[in-house]
Structures are given as structure tokens and as C-alpha cells.
Amino acid sequence: MTATSDAHGQLRSGLWHTINERYPGSMITKSDDVPLASVRKPLRECRLTFVSTAGVQLKGSVPFDTVHPIGDYTFRRVPSSARPADLEIHQIKFPTVGAHRDLNVIFPIERLQELVAEGALGGLTASFFTFIGYNMDPDRVERDLAVRIADAVVEDQADIALMCPA
Amino acid sequence: MSAQVRAPRVVFAPFMMGHHFGVPFHRELQRRMIFEALDHLVHAGVSGEIRVVPITWAQARKEGRAIEEQLR
């Protein structure tokens, strides 16, 4: 059985304090909740998009700048029809040992394609969206990068979004 | 972290960083994580609710190793 936590309960106590101590000012903290948006139609009719910080991108596209001291505030479009063999990871801040053997452990593109083929989902947006998680200016992430990705998601006519950090 | 940023709907499993949908070649676990998210999307009652998937990383790795043995 799957459990749900208390709202806002911290799963690893003390983690946030440690992060803020080591990387002051680098984390987004919110004091208010985002109102829940309702799902307006059955999932089998919904077009899903996937947004990831895994730094996955098409082979041959401009690599993310993974060594810039304050991060890379660009994003890449990844065709949702792509095969894992078409893709590569430009991100050095998370363990990629599993992803290099099976990309679906962090970027489950084949599983999502299967769910559409089986009729569990209505479809996928033309593109998925990726960026890198190492961005040390949270205001710039929120006010610039996230806004541009959100605009692109709307442009791609997504009904629902699955988002995953890496 | 998800709680701190007040993400409206969150699914959490205690997996290794960079492996949030499970382990290599474990198709059913990867699908399960997606279905947990989709189910939470539909059924979450309040903003900020975190669904915790009751599976350990050790269990996921054990299942993954068994699958890889079968694939050899």
C-alpha cells in the first residue's frame, strides 16, 4: 500500500539546514502552497509532457555547460518519439551509472511511449524538456528558465506534466 | 526538498539519486513509478501532499539483478 506523508513533512530531517549552510541562497523555499489544478479529462485523453533536470539531450545538439560556476539556464527540447540511442546525458552532478545502461531509470521515454501505445495516455507532446539541475541562482531559475519552459509546455498543448529532478 | 519548495503533488521513493524510476531493465518498476505519479495526479487531496512508495532501494536492486540474470 502506498502511503502519503503529512503535508510538508520532511522526509529527512535536517537535510534542508545542511544544504542552506553549505550553499547559502542557492535553494528555493516557498511559504505558500500552489493551488491544485484539477485534471479536466480522463488520462486516456490527456497529452502528457515530461520535464527533467537530467540534462538529457539529442546527440549532436549543443551540450549543456556543466562546469559553469553558476550553472546553465538554457533548456533543450527532446523529441518524445526519440529512441534512447538518439539521446545522451550532459550532466555531471548526479550518478548516471544506471542511466547509461538504461536511460529509462531517469528519463522513462520508452515507458511513456508504451503507455500511449496501450491507450493509458492520450498522447505525448511533440517535445519533452530538459535542463540541468546545477543552477545556483534560484531566482533566475524561477523567473526566467521555468517561465520559458512553462511557455514551451503550453505551446506544445500539454494537458498534464510529469516532472522529475535528477 | 520537494516539501520545502511546496511542490503541489509529489511521489517519493528512497531510490539512489539519478534513478528515480528504478533500476536498469526493470520495466515493471519503471511503469509503476509513472502510474504512482498519474494516480497521485488524479487523487491528491491537498496541495503539498507527498505520496511515499513503499519500496526500498535494496529491494529494487535485488529485483533488478534477478531480471538481468534472466536476460543473460
The whole domain housing B64 covers 9-71
Chain A interface includes B68 (CB < 8 A): no
User: Residue A7: which pLDDT band, with cuts at 50, 70 and 90?
Assistant: very low
- Nearest CB to B18; choose among A28, A96, A111: A96
For the segment B55-66, what is each residue's pLDDT rounded down to a tens digit? 999 999 999 999
In this complex, do A27 and B4 lie within 8 Å of one another by their Cβ atoms?
yes
Residue B4 inside a domain? The answer is: no
A17-21, A111-115, A142-146: least confidently modelled range = A17-21
pLDDT at A6: 46
**Quick check: is B47 in a domain?**
yes
Residue B62 domain-assigned (yes or no): yes
Nearest chain A residue (CA) to B49 = A7
Secondary structure (3-state) at B3: coil
- Residue B22 corresponds to which cell in the numbers above? 528504478
As to burial, measured by CB atoms within 10 angstroms (0-12 exposed, 13-18 middle, 19+ buried), residue A16 is middle
- Whether the per-residue pLDDT at A75 is higher than 90: the answer is yes
A102 CB near a chain B CB, below 8 Å? yes
Q: What is the pLDDT of residues A50-74, one digit of tens each?
A: 999 999 999 999 999 998 988 999 9
For residue B16, being part of any structural domain is answered with yes
Run of H or E residues at B69 = helix B57-71
Q: Do B18 and A27 touch (CB under 8 A)?
A: no
Q: Which of B12, B23, B30 sits opposite A11 (nearest CB)?
A: B12
- On average, the pLDDT of chain A sits at 89
Residue B34 counted as domain residue: yes
- Answer yes or no: is B1 within a domain: no
pLDDT tens readout for residues B23-54: 999 999 999 999 999 999 999 999 999 999 99
Q: Residue A165: helix, strand or coil by DSSP?
A: coil
Neighbours of B70 (CB within 10 A): 8
ipTM of the complex: 0.96
CA distances from B48 to A36, A117, B10, B11, B23 (A): 9, 31, 7, 10, 27
Cα A71 → chain centroid: 16
Residue type at A87?
A: L
What is residue B50's predicted lDDT score, i.e. its pLDDT?
A: 93
Domains in chain B, number: 1
The whole-angstrom distance between A90's CA and the closest CA on chain B is 13
A55: left (phi over 0), alpha (psi -120 to 50) or beta: left
Farthest-apart Cα atoms in chain B, separation:
45
Judged against a pLDDT cut of 70, whether residue A5 lies above it is answered with: no
